[in-house]
Amino acid sequence: MPAKMLLLAIGLVLAVPQEVVGPVKGLEPSSQLQLLPYKTVGRYAQRNDGGVVRQWPGTYFEANFLGSEVYFRIGAGDMDLRLSLDRAVPQALERASPGLYRIAGLVRSRHHIRIDIASETKAAPTVFGGFFAAPETRALPTVRRARAIEFIGDTHTVGYANLSNAKQCSDETVRRTTDTSQGIAALTAARFDADYQVNAISGRGVVRNYNGAAADTVPTLYPFSLFDKSARTADPSWHPQVLAISLGTNDFSTPLHAGEEWTSRVELRGAFQMRYVGFVRDLRLLYPKAYIVLWATDIGDGETSREVANVAQLVNAGGVHQVGLVIVSGLRFSACNSHPGLEDDRKIADALAEHLIRNVRGWQRPG
């Protein structure tokens, strides 16, 4: 890091990077600060105070400024963050306390700050209050990258417990070892210097959730910014050139139970195909120029990968073009509850990147 970093917050102080030294009360000079323009990548609902409410995973925030210090505000909600200044190795802030944080002692020059939401927050939305600076700090513009990828999926796309190295885990371990910022989406996007959205929910499927759990499926929640469906998503600046979709693992990974909507696997497969094909068609209408890649692993007996391949075939046969298929094999599934770990995430990201290089015009070179 180019300069000593000092972080102060209501209820939390980090005097040197990654060292918690104690609480500090009363740091709230927000009336003396200016809100810096910042970029939010991910779905959100705008707040009147310049902050955002968000719930889909993988949201990140970026700002540029010329000065020697910067502030950021963390609002309500349980979330783990990754903070990077001037593109240095990210610093973890686990379950960051609400309040105003300060990074001081920087050389007065141009700086870039980025905060990633690493943890999954499907239980409840969280609030990011924005970046702030003193009047003598000059705000610099932020720009979207030329390339953009949208990832739609389930636990694999979320990065569920991808930092873990044991299959048996507590719920707290799952929470603590989930890091979307090191997962498949981030790794793939980095190959192309692309912005990315992660619209994924662990345990959810196309028509059936894991073990038949009663909750909204991914296609049902997809149109909304928050999971309570209070507002439809609307971001006119988001124009992904690629959609990478991985769904089906939760539909097929457990046996059907008495009382479920489908009385046989044949019925489930038929419903899955119909809904998934319809979902892809809807996405094509939303993003008419985007390349769509459906991907799956060969987990279990291969039922999921076979059904996803059938969906890809049906979609292409039905006139929805520019739809590809990637099946990833040879994974270890060494993380909590037999999910992909970091090694598997890298292998999946490599497979997706290689497919995009071959199939998306202009993506043969890094961004």
Share of the chain above pLDDT 90, in %: 84
Asked if the model's pLDDT at residue 21 lies above 80, the reply is no
The answer to whether residues 195 and 305 belong to one domain is yes
Is 367 inside any structural domain? no
The string of pLDDT tens digits covering residues 157-173 is: 999 999 999 999 999 99
Give just the sign of the alpha carbon dihedral 112, 184, 197, 242.
positive
Which of the two residues, 38 and 49, has the higher pLDDT score?
A: 38
> For the residues 110-133, what does the mean pLDDT come to?
96
Instruction: Identify the band that residue 22 occupies on the pLDDT scale cut at 50, 70 and 90.
Output: very low
Q: Report residue 11's pLDDT band, with 50, 70 and 90 as the boundaries.
A: very low
CA 46 – CA 122 distance, rounded (Å)? 18
Same domain, 115 and 44: yes
Strand extents, DSSP E, 2-48: 6-9, 12-16, 19-20, 34-35, 39-41, 45-46
Specify the CATH number for the domain of residue 298.
3.40.50.1110
Give the model confidence (pLDDT) of 68-100 as tens digits. Answer: 999 999 999 999 999 999 999 999 999 988 988
Mean pLDDT of the chain: 91
CA angle 302, 157, 96 (to 5 degrees): 145
> Considering the domain boundaries, does residue 108 fall inside one?
yes
Residue 120: which CATH number?
A: 2.60.120.260
Tokens standing for 197?
Answer: 């959205």
Q: Is the pLDDT of residue 330 over 90?
A: yes
One domain, residues 134 and 151: no
Counting the structural domains of the chain, the total is: 2
pLDDT in tens, 281-320: 999 999 999 999 999 999 889 999 999 999 999 999 999 9
Angle at 17 between CA 192 and CA 95, to 5 degrees: 80
Domain that holds residue 105: 6-138
Q: Is the pLDDT of residue 140 over 60?
A: yes
Q: Are residues 194 and 78 in the same domain?
A: no
Same-domain check for residues 312 and 179: yes
Burial class (CB in 10 A: 0-12, 13-18, 19+), 297: buried
Instruction: Scan for tokens 């505000």, then name that residue.
Output: 73
Q: Are residues 194 and 342 in the same domain?
A: yes
348 and 219 both lie in a single domain:
yes
182 plus 253 within the same structural domain: yes
Look at residues 138, 171, 194 and tell me which one is the last residue of a structural domain: 138
